[in-house]
């Protein structure tokens, strides 16, 4: 039987401006500024960037962390940088929404 380790994820939905799709992919992809920022703390496990198969302007990110405490520690240490990067990314999307925080069972 496969062994699963605890994991905490945060899922976001983005409606990307069509003319900004390339910039969005570069920013939210595995080598982009978001991943670089998150990698500043141990316990960040990576981000999955998903593209809707039916709606070309819809993307999802799944940020994976070891635990809610790891995420909270990141915010305490780097919250100002997080907020600043979020503001810089506003022009890439028409809408964004946090779908929630989840734990793997």
Question: Residue 76 has what pLDDT?
Answer: 96
Percentage of the chain modeled with pLDDT above 70: 95
> What is the rounded CA–CA span in Å between residue 56 and residue 15?
9
pLDDT in tens, 43-77: 999 999 999 999 999 999 999 999 999 999 999 99
Q: Is the pTM of this model over 0.85?
A: yes
Give the contacts of 43 (CB within 8 A, at least 6 positions apart).
65, 66, 67, 70, 73, 74
The domain limits of the chain are 21-51+79-105
């Amino acid at each position: 039987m496969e062994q699963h380790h605890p994991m905490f994820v945060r899922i976001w939905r983005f409606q990307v401006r069509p003319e900004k799709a390339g910039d969005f992919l570069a920013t939210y992809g595995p080598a982009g500024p978001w991943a670089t920022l998150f990698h500043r703390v141990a316990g960040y496990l990576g981000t999955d960037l998903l593209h809707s198969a039916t709606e070309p302007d819809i993307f999802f990110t799944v940020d994976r962390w070891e635990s809610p405490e790891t995420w909270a520690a990141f915010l305490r240490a780097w919250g100002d940088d997080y907020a600043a990067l979020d503001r810089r990314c506003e022009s890439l999307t028409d809408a964004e929404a946090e779908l929630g925080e989840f734990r793997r069972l």
